[in-house]
Chains A and B, each alone.
Chain A
Amino acid sequence: MHADAFARLVDSVLRVNGVPRARRAFVPTPVMGRTPEELRGYVEGDDPVRGRPFMDVVLEALLEPIPPEDVRDVEFDRSQEALVEGASEEALQALFRENGWTDFLPVVLPTRERVDAMLAGTSHPPDEVVGKLQATKYRELWEFTVEKVAVNAVMAGAGPEHLPVILALASSGITARQSSTSSMASMVVVNGPIARELGMNSGIGALGPYNHANAVIGRAYGLLSQNLQGGSVPTISYMGCQGNPMTYASPTFAENEELSPWAPYHTSRGFSPEDSTVGIFEVWGNVWSEGLREHWEDKVKAMLAGIDPFLGVVLVVSPIAAREFVNVGFDTRESLIDWIAENVRVPARRYWNHYAAQTFVREDALNGIEPFASYLHAGPDELVPLFPREKIEVLVVGGETNAQWSAFIGSRLDPRYWAPGVQTTVSVDAWR
Chain B
Amino acid sequence: MSTLSVLSPVGFPPKVTAKGLAPSLDALDGRLLFLVDVGFENSDHFMVQVQRWLAEHRPELRTEIVRWRNQHEPDPELSARIKAEGDAALLGVGL
> Hey, which bits of chain A sit against chain B, CB under 8 A?
1-3, 6, 10, 15-23, 27, 31-34, 36, 39-40, 42-44, 55, 58-59, 61-66, 70-89, 91-92, 96, 101, 109-112, 115, 133, 137-138, 140-145, 147-148, 151-152, 155, 181, 223-224, 227-230, 239, 355, 358-359, 363, 366-367, 416-417
Is there an interface contact between B13 and A79, defined as CB atoms closer than 8 Å?
Answer: yes
Q: In the assembled complex, which residues on chain B have CB atoms less than 8 Å from the CB atom of A228?
A: 9-11
* CB of B45 within 8 Å of the partner chain: yes
The smallest beta-carbon distance between A416 and chain B, in angstroms, is: 7
Contact B16 A75 (CB under 8 A): yes
Contact with A along B69-93 (1 / 0, CB 8 A): 1111100000000000000101111
Contacts of B12 in A (CB 8 A): 79-80, 142-145, 148
CA distance A233 to B27 in the complex (A): 41
Cross-interface CB contact of A223 among B9, B39, B40, B92, cutoff 8 Å: B9
- CB of A282, distance to nearest CB on chain B (Å): 15
Query: Chain B residues near A42 (CB, 8 Å)?
Result: 46, 49
Tell me if B's interface is mostly helix, strand, loop or mixed.
loop
Task: Chain A residues near B70: list those with CB within 8 A.
Answer: 363, 367, 416
Secondary structure dominating the interface of A:
mixed
B interface list, Cβ under 8 A from A: 1, 3-28, 33, 39-43, 45-46, 48-50, 52-54, 57-58, 67, 69-73, 88, 90-95
Whether A92 and B90, one on each chain, are in contact in the complex, defined by CB atoms closer than 8 angstroms, is no
Q: Which residues of B contact A148 (CB under 8 A)?
A: 9-12
Q: Are B9's CB and A227's CB within 8 A?
A: yes
Closest to B2 in A: A87
- B11's contact among A229, A359, A366, by CB below 8 Å, is which? A229
Q: Check if B46 sits within 8 Å of A31, measured CB to CB.
A: yes
Whether A1 and B92, one on each chain, are in contact in the complex, defined by CB atoms closer than 8 angstroms, is yes
List chain A residues, Cβ under 8 A from B26: 63
